Amino acid sequence: MAELSLVLVTPERTLFDRPVASIRVPLFDGSAGFYPGRAPLVGRLGIGELRLTEASGAVESYFIDGGFVQVKGSVVSVLTNAAMPTAELSRKVAVAKIDEANAERSKSDAEFASSSRRLEKARKMLALASKD
């Protein structure tokens, strides 16, 4: 039977490196799921939730912030700027970040792009957060 394993790396550390049953990642334009035997792929990631199901059926979920995904053979590598378990997201922090991004007054296109990106990230965080 074909196998699948996930390597989740950020510039600071390797968060996850184990065999899994299936993976769902947020691509730049929507979700994509990978099962064993996926054809090779390199894709750009968006901001959102990475969900993986282990062979035992247990589900783990991470919040990731952009990056790339590479599928090669049985290994799925996810390279992202920052990742943290979804369970650690807090609603309060996300709301504070949304307010912060909204309060900013952009003076240039670059500033606007950066603050709207932060706003998008904070909104996704809020949508996924489960604790206060």
Partner 1 sequence: MANRRLLVKRLKAVRNIRKITRTMELIATSLFKKAMDRATEAAEYTRKISEIVGDLGRANLKFSHPLLERRAEEKRSILLVLTANRGLCGGYNASVLRQSLIHIRSLKEKAIEFQLEVSGKRGIKFLNYQKVPIHTQYTTFEDQPSFAAVETLANRFVDDFIAGRIDRLDVAYTRFVTSSKQFAVVETLLPIGSLEGGIETKSEAGIDYEFLPSAQEILTEIVPAAFRAKLFKCFLDAAVSEQIARMVAMKGATENADEMAGSLKQQYNRARQAGITSELAEIIGGAAALG
| Interface ranges with partner 1 (CB under 8 A) | 7, 9-14, 27-29, 32, 39-44, 67-68, 70, 72, 77, 79, 81-82, 110
Provide the pairing of β-strand 83-85 with 59-72.
antiparallel
Q: Provide φ and ψ at 104, rounded to 5°.
A: -70, 140
Nearer to partner 1, 107 or 132 (CB): 107
The β-bridge partners of 37 are none
Nearer to partner 1, 42 or 55 (CB): 42
Nearer to partner 1, 45 or 98 (CB): 45
Q: How far apart are CA 16 and CA 44, in angstroms?
A: 19
User: In the complex, what is the shortest distance from the CB of residue 19 to partner 1, in angstroms, rounded to a whole number?
Assistant: 18
Q: How far apart are CA 112 and CA 132, in angstroms?
A: 29
Nearer to partner 1, 18 or 72 (CB): 72
Radius of gyration over every alpha carbon of the chain, rounded to an integer in angstroms: 16
Helical H segments across 3-108, by residue range: 91-103
User: In the complex, what is the shortest distance from the CB of residue 70 to partner 1, in angstroms, rounded to a whole number?
Assistant: 6
Cβ-contact 55, 20 below 8 angstroms: yes
User: In the complex, what is the shortest distance from the CB of residue 34 to partner 1, in angstroms, rounded to a whole number?
Assistant: 12
User: In the complex, what is the shortest distance from the CB of residue 62 to partner 1, in angstroms, rounded to a whole number?
Assistant: 16
